[in-house]
Amino acid sequence: MSVLGLVLSVLIGISLGFFGGGGSILTVPLLVYVFGLDPKTAIASSLLVVGAASMSGALHHWRAGNVDLRTGLVFGAAGMTGAYIGGRVGAFLDGALLLFLFAAMMMLTAVGMWQGRRARSSGAPTKGAMPRLLLQGLAVGSFTGLVGAGGGFLIVPALTLWAGLSMHVAVGTSLFIIVLNTMAGFLGYQSHVQVDFALVGAVTVMAIAGSFVGWRLANKIDPASLRRAFSAFVAAMAVFILVREADVWITKAQEALPGSGPQIAFALLMLGIGIMAGRVTRRAERDPRADRVFSDGGGI
């Protein structure tokens, strides 16, 4: 077990504590490139780590009264369905392709964090909110189960804009939803991967410890400037993965084409879903009532 990896695991928790998100964006690369796990095992392990760390954050928000259980269960039910399906589908996709999807998700996250988000501070649910929440939950859940990304940067805007939740409640509810999604995603993966639970436990303990540091830092450091610095770091990590795995993807494409065609088509479909989900919340943020800027990720 890598000592360096355990030390770096603290950064997962610091991100969760400070931003309310960012955990899974750091966990998968850490497990692949520092601990040496194969992509599918890393994704399954990440689901457990992020789920446990998010549960710690959700309990913190629950004690503060910042979790809307009803909305969380509605969004989470759709998310769990998508996450379980995503975890099962992962068995049929090449690990390198999953890393490509993860890197693409990192780029989307980096762009979203760099631009920031706007949301109404509070209010009643918008008209037609329920179908939107269910569709967004299904889309985010499918990515969570497939590549281990929590998707909080899509969950939080949906909860504030459509469910009318205040920012603090949206972040707390988002963490609760991510707990549900990650557990469902892991159930989808567990039939075809072997997880080192000792490693998962050690990384999780360090991540939770780091989350307490993040909560303290949140009261002392300007979140806007650090948000952009973190988004640049996430983008750099995505580029690193793309460059690192480029040779593998080219080789596999040459060997497997046209057999890899269905997998490539599926990857493009999933990327399209992710981009559309982001654009939906971005369009909603143009609502003239959307006057509050936020940078929380809610368990990305």
- Residue 3 reports pLDDT greater than 90: no
At 20-63, the pLDDT tens digits run 566 777 888 899 989 999 989 999 999 999 888 888 888 888 99
The pLDDT of residue 158 is: 80
More confident residue, 174 or 151: 174
Q: How many domains does the chain have?
A: 1
Q: Is 94 left (phi over 0), alpha (psi -120 to 50) or beta?
A: beta
| Residue 116 belongs to a domain | yes
Q: Which two tokens stand for residue 69?
A: 């259980």
| Residue 298 belongs to a domain | no
At 263-293, the pLDDT tens digits run 666 666 666 666 666 555 555 544 444 444 4
| Residue 11 belongs to a domain | yes
| Residue 264 belongs to a domain | yes
| Residue 293 belongs to a domain | no
| Residue 204 belongs to a domain | yes
Domain around 15: 3-288
Q: Which two tokens stand for residue 86?
A: 């995503």
The pLDDT of residue 187 is: 92
Q: How far is CA 50 from the centre of its chain?
A: 8
Under 8 Å between Cβ of 54 and 299: yes
Q: Virtual CA dihedral for 46, 96, 241, 14, nearest 10 degrees?
A: 0
Band (300; pLDDT cuts 50, 70, 90): very low
| Residue 30 belongs to a domain | yes
d(CA 209, CA 18): 13
d(CA 176, CA 76): 8
| Residue 297 belongs to a domain | no
* Number of residues written out for the chain: 300
Q: How far apart are the first and last CA of the chain?
A: 25
